């Protein structure tokens, strides 16, 4: 039988990579806490309708990327492709809409049936925040500030650029949509197959096309700012002003639209050119219509999600874990004393590794392989005298230590 392989687009997070992921998620979790966001976790799968309606039938996610199946009980379920819809569903199911503002942080796996490539997987991981119940632009500024601070703390702030745009309120968006349909219809023949399809369903997405032919057409497309009403202009001005006051630099990108249908007003992305084509590391915006669309009260919201895989590629090597002490029993009696002694040393806060089996040479090789700081050699004769031998791998020195002093002596090695 050939060796089993992981499913396409999935990967194992072996310890070195898992450590990078944890560095990202723990940094984000701690800083989200600093801003008063509380962690929540929603199920990895939901009834399909939780995602289908809010994300929008005409988005890539719903039309071709969802992992949807009928379970054994005949229910239509979907592995979550993103977490905003799940968080909103949880807020509604648990009747949390009374005490706003609501501030949540999440971290976990998401699933999309995509063509795998560098920085793009079928199972990937996101961290994200949602702030619900605040209609003022301060909320947009604060969630961006949190994203910015996380990137700074991860040491990658100078490798990313914040891009900012507004999609206006629904009235402005409809006016712009109509203008786009008019413009693109006139240049229909120049558009790619994909974009022609988007023309009827989701014309704003054409602006986002990576096709060079499309980009020639979108370059001359009408500008959203000409279709923004007064209120939308004013809202966006306050977001920009708020960012200026915090010293958060941004670049206006009038072509920035988000993949999901539910965004209004502010949209933003932190992008980098350092990891190839998949350069968006953190992306989000305001979604004022979403909660009502999902059957809740009319309640505004703003948030973002960031791809852990892409962030993990950018960060520096996280601090190495503490080097272990290798416990090496030699002889039958020592063997039976090893586990209790290991527990004692762990009580004292030491990282202890037990090789379990093999002769002295083999266990010393293991100690070397795991980068042990020192080995504790435990022979039957020594045990009888109440001592053990400590071999310091860095200095090469070896000495006898009373068992009672062992923890202290090992801790002193640092």
From 107, 126, 172, 195, residue interacting with ligand ATP (rule: CB under 6 A): 126
**What b/e string do you get for 70-80 counting C-beta neighbours within 10 Å, with b at 16 or more?**
eeeeeeebbbb
Q: Is residue 287 near ligand ATP by the rule CB under 6 A?
A: no
Handedness of CA 166, 172, 178, 183 (dihedral sign): negative
d(CA 288, CA 299): 6
Q: Is residue 112 near ligand ATP by the rule CB under 6 A?
A: yes
User: Nearer Cβ to ligand ATP, position 118 or 385?
Assistant: 118
CB atoms within 10 A of CB 53: 17
User: Nearer Cβ to ligand ATP, position 172 or 209?
Assistant: 209
Q: How many alpha carbons fall within 13 Å on the CB side of residue 277?
A: 5
Q: Is residue 121 near ligand ATP by the rule CB under 6 A?
A: yes
The 8-class DSSP code of residue 117 comes to B
How many helical (H) and strand (E) elements, i.e. helices and strands, does the chain have? 15, 16
Q: Is residue 283 near ligand ATP by the rule CB under 6 A?
A: yes
Least separation, in Å, of the C-beta of 285 and ligand ATP? 9
From 169, 309, 353, 382, residue interacting with ligand ATP (rule: CB under 6 A): 309
Q: Which of residues 65-94 bind ligand ATP (CB under 6 A)?
A: 82
**Peptide bond preceding 176 in cis form (omega within 30 of 0):** no
d(CA 279, CA 108): 20
From 49, 114, 211, 335, residue interacting with ligand ATP (rule: CB under 6 A): 114
- H or E element at residue 71: none
Q: Is residue 161 near ligand ATP by the rule CB under 6 A?
A: no
Q: Is residue 380 near ligand ATP by the rule CB under 6 A?
A: no
From 289, 307, 329, 379, residue interacting with ligand ATP (rule: CB under 6 A): 307
Least separation, in Å, of the C-beta of 184 and ligand ATP? 20
Q: What is the contact mask toward ligand ATP in residues 232 to 271, using x (rule: CB under 6 A)?
A: ---------------------------x------------
Token digits of residue 96: 């949390």
Q: Is residue 124 near ligand ATP by the rule CB under 6 A?
A: yes
All residues at 6 or more sequence positions from 113 whose CB lies less than 8 Å from its CB, including other chains: 9, 64, 65, 66, 67, 122
Q: What is the contact mask toward ligand ATP in residues 189 to 208, using x (rule: CB under 6 A)?
A: --------------------
Q: Is residue 180 near ligand ATP by the rule CB under 6 A?
A: no
Segment near ligand ATP (CB under 6 A); pick from 113-121, 154-162, 340-348, 400-408: 113-121
Segment near ligand ATP (CB under 6 A); pick from 115-123, 137-145, 320-328, 389-397: 115-123
Find out whether 161 and 252 touch, Cβ atoms under 8 Å.
Answer: no
User: Nearer Cβ to ligand ATP, position 112 or 366?
Assistant: 112
SS3 content of the chain, % helix, strand, coil (to 5): 45, 20, 35
Q: Is residue 120 near ligand ATP by the rule CB under 6 A?
A: yes
Handedness of CA 266, 270, 273, 275 (dihedral sign): negative
Segment near ligand ATP (CB under 6 A); pick from 121-129, 214-222, 237-245, 356-364: 121-129
Q: Which long-range contacts does 354-360 make (Cβ < 8 Å, 24+ apart)?
A: 354/327, 355/326, 355/327, 355/328, 360/328, 360/330
Least separation, in Å, of the C-beta of 61 and ligand ATP? 7
Least separation, in Å, of the C-beta of 189 and ligand ATP? 26
Residues that bind ligand ATP in the complex, under the rule CB under 6 A: 82, 112, 114, 119-121, 124, 126, 259, 278, 280-281, 283, 305-307, 309-310
């Amino acid at each position: 039988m050939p060796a089993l392989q992981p499913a396409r687009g999935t990967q194992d997070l072996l310890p070195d990579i898992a450590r990078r992921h944890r560095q990202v998620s723990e940094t984000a979790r701690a800083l989200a806490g600093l801003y008063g966001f509380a962690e929540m976790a929603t199920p990895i799968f939901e009834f399909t309708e939780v995602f289908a309606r809010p994300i929008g039938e005409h988005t890539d996610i719903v039309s071709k990327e969802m992992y949807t199946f009928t379970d054994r009980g005949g229910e239509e379920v979907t592995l979550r492709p993103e977490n905003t819809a799940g968080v909103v569903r949880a807020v509604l199911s648990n009747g949390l809409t009374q005490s706003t503002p609501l501030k949540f942080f999440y971290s976990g796996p998401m699933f999309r049936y995509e063509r795998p490539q560098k920085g793009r997987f079928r199972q990937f991981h996101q961290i994200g925040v949602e702030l619900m119940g605040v209609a003022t632009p301060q909320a947009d500024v604060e969630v961006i500030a949190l994203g910015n601070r996380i990137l700074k703390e991860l040491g990658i702030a100078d490798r990313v650029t914040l891009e900012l745009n507004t999609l206006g309120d629904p009235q402005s968006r409809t006016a712009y949509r109509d203008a786009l349909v008019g413009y693109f219809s006139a240049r229909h023949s120049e558009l790619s197959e994909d974009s022609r399809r988007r023309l009827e369903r989701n014309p704003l997405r054409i602006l986002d096309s990576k096709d060079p032919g499309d980009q020639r057409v979108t370059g001359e497309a009408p500008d959203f700012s000409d279709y923004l009403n007064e209120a939308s202009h004013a809202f966006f001005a306050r977001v920009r002003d708020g960012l200026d006051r915090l010293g958060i630099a941004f670049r206006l990108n009038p072509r920035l639209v988000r993949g999901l249908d539910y965004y209004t007003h502010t949209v933003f992305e932190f992008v980098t050119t350092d990891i190839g084509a998949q350069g968006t590391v953190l992306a989000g915006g305001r979604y004022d219509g979403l909660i009502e669309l999902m059957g809740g009260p009319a309640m505004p919201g703003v948030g973002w999600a960031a791809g852990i895989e892409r962030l993990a590629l950018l960060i520096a090597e996280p601090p190495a874990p503490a080097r272990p002490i290798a416990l090496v029993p030699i002889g039958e009696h020592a063997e039976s004393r090893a586990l209790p002694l290991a527990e004692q040393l762990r009580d004292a806060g030491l990282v202890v590794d037990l090789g379990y089996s093999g002769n002295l040479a083999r266990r010393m090789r293991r100690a070397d392989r795991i980068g042990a700081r020192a080995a504790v050699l435990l022979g039957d004769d020594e045990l009888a005298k109440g001592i053990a031998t400590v071999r310091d791998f860095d200095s090469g020195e070896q000495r006898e230590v009373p068992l009672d002093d062992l923890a202290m002596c090992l801790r002193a090695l640092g």
